[in-house]
């Protein structure tokens, strides 16, 4: 649990951290967010998260609440005050407070800024080494998934279905039978010749920060990568499947509903990439806080 939250210029005890009733993020989901993994007290891919935040805000025509240097200083202080060594830093920027009306406010308002830091980062290594189950759910999200909006009700429903199926994640599938991604992670499959396949960047998926880092690490290691759509049938027949995400890192998938992937155990490629990613985050130093 976060003990200290940052809300619009104030550090507050978590239980007293509130926003105005007419904050547009609360009323219209007119806000975006980022979740950064904190590992050994340092942010993972901080500059990339800032870049994605800029993209989301630009697409919704919400101004940055402050300079990136100032924002970084605030983030660092939230992590420090909560004494988070391994956990997550949540940041949300909204259009601000205005009388309830769906069009943008006629007069400029100050963007809202909220941050919390929490202990704990994803599944244990024991879970990762065993692999996880996912459940197939229809992808009913809006057409601009590349914007990291707080409007996550379709994701909530998919994740609830996963929880009820005793699965770690929901695998989202379009009506054409193609897999887009998970409810909170990007999805990958590995072919028999060890080629990695993941959905290309588009408005249909969120451009995962961990996805990009794993792609870079995989290319450096000599793996072949195809960014293309793949079907659920292709996924079920794959040699391996895995997820990438801020807190999941690289997480092998061994079961889709009642179907096992290959022999039902994490594959060598998934485990190799997970180790490479762990090596990457364990090598971070204080330059990880650099905003550019």
Catalytic residues: 148
Dist. CA 157–CA 287, nearest whole Å: 38
Residues 275 and 51: beta-carbon distance below 8 Å: no
What burial class does residue 273 get, using C-beta atoms within 10 Å of its C-beta: 0-12 exposed, 13-18 middle, 19+ buried? buried
CA of residue 4 relative to chain centroid, distance: 22
What burial class does residue 20 get, using C-beta atoms within 10 Å of its C-beta: 0-12 exposed, 13-18 middle, 19+ buried? middle
Q: Which residues pair with 197 in a beta bridge?
A: 189, 226
Residues 5 and 77: beta-carbon distance below 8 Å: no
Dist. CA 282–CA 135, nearest whole Å: 31
Dist. CA 151–CA 143, nearest whole Å: 12
Using CA atoms, how far residue 197 sits from 189, 241, 246, in Å, is 5, 9, 19
Dist. CA 25–CA 112, nearest whole Å: 8
Dist. CA 243–CA 62, nearest whole Å: 31
């Amino acid at each position: 649990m976060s003990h200290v939250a940052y809300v619009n210029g104030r550090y507050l005890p978590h239980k007293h951290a509130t926003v105005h009733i007419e904050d547009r993020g609360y009323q219209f989901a007119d806000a975006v967010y980022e979740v950064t993994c904190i590992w050994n007290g340092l942010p993972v891919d901080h500059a990339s998260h800032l870049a994605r935040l800029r993209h989301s805000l630009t697409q919704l025509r919400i101004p940055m609440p402050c300079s990136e240097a100032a924002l970084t200083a605030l983030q660092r202080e939230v992590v420090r005050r909560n004494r988070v060594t391994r956990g997550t830093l949540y940041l949300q920027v909204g259009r601000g407070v205005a009388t309830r009306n769906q069009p943008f406010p006629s007069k400029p308002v100050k963007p809202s800024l909220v941050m919390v830091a929490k202990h704990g980062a994803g599944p244990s290594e024991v879970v990762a080494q065993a692999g996880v189950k996912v459940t197939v759910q229809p992808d009913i999200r809006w057409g601009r998934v590349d914007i990291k909006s707080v409007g996550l009700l379709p994701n909530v429903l998919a994740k609830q279905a996963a929880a009820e199926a005793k699965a770690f994640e929901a695998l989202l599938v379009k009506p054409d039978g193609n897999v887009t991604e998970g409810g909170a992670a990007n999805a990958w499959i590995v072919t028999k010749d060890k080629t990695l396949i993941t959905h290309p960047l588009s408005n249909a998926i969120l451009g995962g920060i961990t996805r990009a880092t794993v792609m870079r690490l995989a290319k450096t290691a000599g793996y072949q990568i195809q960014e293309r759509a793949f079907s659920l049938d292709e996924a079920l027949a794959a040699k391996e499947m895995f997820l990438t995400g801020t807190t999941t890192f690289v997480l092998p998938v061994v079961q889709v509903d009642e179907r096992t992937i290959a022999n039902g155990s994490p594959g060598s490629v998934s485990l190799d990439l997970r180790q490479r990613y762990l090596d990457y985050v364990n090598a971070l130093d204080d330059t990880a806080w650099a905003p550019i």
